[in-house]
Amino acid sequence: RHGLLAFDPGFRSTAACKSAITFVDGDKGILLYRGYPIEELAEHSDFIEVAYLLMNGELPTVMQRTQLDLALGSHNLLHEQVLSFYRGFRRDAHPMAVMVGVVGALSAFYHDVMNIRDANDRQLAATRLIAKMPMLAAASYTYSIGRPMRYPNNKLDYASNFLQMMFGSPVAEYVVDPVLARALDVIFTLHADHEQNASTSTVRLAASSGANPFACIAAGIASLWGPAHGGANEAVLKMLMEIGSVENIPKAIARAKDKDDSFRLMGFGHRIYKNFDPRSRVIQAQAKKVLTHLGKDDPLLEIAMRLEEIALKDEYFIGRKLYPNVDFYSGILLRAMGFPMNMFTAVFAVARTAGWVSHWLELQGESHGIDRPRQLYVGKALRHYSKAK
Ligand code: SDX
């Protein structure tokens, strides 16, 4: 067919890879970080402890956690020349476009510690990336609204620091709301890693060539931005706004089922989960908690919950095992916390950096050759050139 050359019968996908970091059972809706259920970590742990677990394979001792906190606190500033990169962007640039550019630019800043054959240098590169992402992301927001960039405050924890850099102002003291800080920390934990998703596979492929870790993470940010992946949380909110009311849900469901209509239920379905994404339940609960705490009543939450209820009774979705994924409720929660829609995926990128650097470290530890996915050739068979008549 298509002049397909007889390809090597021993052809096998080189796409499968081995990793000890995250386990997903899509049929059962199970997600484990280094063997720990995501539900337990979201309830009892915190993002920095989870980042340590993902990078090192075990939960930190008190001393190890203190050392990581100190390391993150001494590397969370951006080089002043990095800040000047922001001024080259239009104010209305998408934060993910800015982050791809600025994180990539970081690869031009740390030659002194970039011997990736050295375990300490590797750990430092990973720590720097986790440490700097909150200021990088917050700066892409404050720049877009013409507000001065804010620096981290090492008296605050990771999530609180991100909130004050995002929403603080030079003319008034920013008081961190502990309920919002906890909700953001849970969001970070839930989004920290997820096996071989598109952006993590992008990071691993770049890392397998021995590329600079900052450049590898910039590649991951680019991949995460897509609406079929990390960009889905922004797409979910736009979809809910377009639906507008509970009465319009049946029409949306019909459009999602219509093959001739490109409309999909954003936040529904998953490459692996053919059951509930365990993260979506935790995020839905946090969304309700934050909205109640803030005394807000978001009509989009009601539309989302009714949409889920109706879709999960519909044979089209049941038959295809399409359930809400991590992105279905995260946008509602982030909006309730004050994040603008175009920052949703940037928040995802801050969290997923913990997973990306863990996979980068895992690959450095192996005598790993360059990854080289193969293909099924469906082009023209061999033929010879002759001049056009
Ligand atoms: C993330 O990989 C990861 O781990 C990603 C992630 C992570 O943590 O890194 O979990 C984060 O990216 C979550 C996914 C966010 N994306 C969305 O919510 C976008 C909406 N979802 C769809 O685009 C879709 O479900 C995908 C992209 C997620 C999966 O696409 P697939 O693999 O093509 O879906 P499928 O093979 O399971 O589809 C089977 C059928 C198809 O119909 P048929 O051809 O069989 O008739 O289901 C249909 C699809 O058309 N379908 C949908 C649908 N998703 C799949 N129909 C309507 N609405 C949807 N959302």
| Protein residue with least CA distance to atom 26, ligand 1 | 270
Residue 369 has pLDDT above 90, yes or no: no
* CA 71 – ligand 1 centroid, Å: 38
What pLDDT shows up at residue 95?
A: 96
Q: Cα–Cα distances in Å, from 24 out to 38, 50, 63, 287, 362? A: 10, 17, 30, 24, 18
Long-range contacts of 64-73 (CB under 8 A, 24+ apart): 68/127, 71/124, 71/127, 71/131, 72/48, 72/127, 72/130, 72/131, 72/158, 73/131, 73/152, 73/154
* CA 347 – ligand 1 centroid, Å: 21
Q: Give the pocket of ligand 1 (CB within 6 Å).
A: 194, 197, 228-230, 232, 256, 264-271, 320, 322, 325-327
What pLDDT shows up at residue 282?
A: 96
What pLDDT shows up at residue 213?
A: 94
Task: Check: CB of residue 274 under 8 Å from CB of residue 27.
Answer: yes
What pLDDT shows up at residue 14?
A: 43
**Which of 270, 310, 318, 326 to probe ligand 1 with, by most ligand atoms within 8 A of CB?**
270
246-262 confidence digits (pLDDT tens): 999 999 999 999 999 99
* CA 271 – ligand 1 centroid, Å: 6
| Protein residue with least CA distance to atom 47, ligand 1 | 320
When pLDDT is averaged across residues 187-208 and rounded to a whole number, the result is: 97
Our measurement of the distance from residue 56's CA atom to the centroid of its chain's CA atoms, rounded to an integer in Å, reads 20
Q: What tokens does 381 get?
A: 């068979």
The mean-pLDDT minimum among 199-213, 331-345, 355-369 falls in 355-369
What pLDDT shows up at residue 158?
A: 98
**Which of 320, 326, 348 to probe ligand 1 with, by most ligand atoms within 8 A of CB?**
320
Residue 16 has pLDDT above 80, yes or no: no
- DSSP, residue by residue, 13-67: -S-----SSEEEETTTTEEEETTEEHHHHHHH--HHHHHHHHHHSSPPPHHHHHH
99-150 confidence digits (pLDDT tens): 999 999 999 998 766 788 888 889 999 999 999 999 999 999 999 999 999 9
Residue 202 has pLDDT above 70, yes or no: yes
Percent of the chain surpassing pLDDT 70? 95
Cα distance between residue 143 and residue 228, in whole Å:
27
| Protein residue with least CA distance to atom 35, ligand 1 | 271
> Where in the sequence numbering do the catalytic residues fall?
270, 327
Task: Check: CB of residue 329 under 8 Å from CB of residue 280.
Answer: yes
Residue 56 has pLDDT above 80, yes or no: yes
What pLDDT shows up at residue 113?
A: 63
When pLDDT is averaged across residues 29-36 and rounded to a whole number, the result is: 97
What pLDDT shows up at residue 285?
A: 95
What pLDDT shows up at residue 45?
A: 98
Cα distance between residue 3 and residue 225, in whole Å:
36
| Protein residue with least CA distance to atom 3, ligand 1 | 197
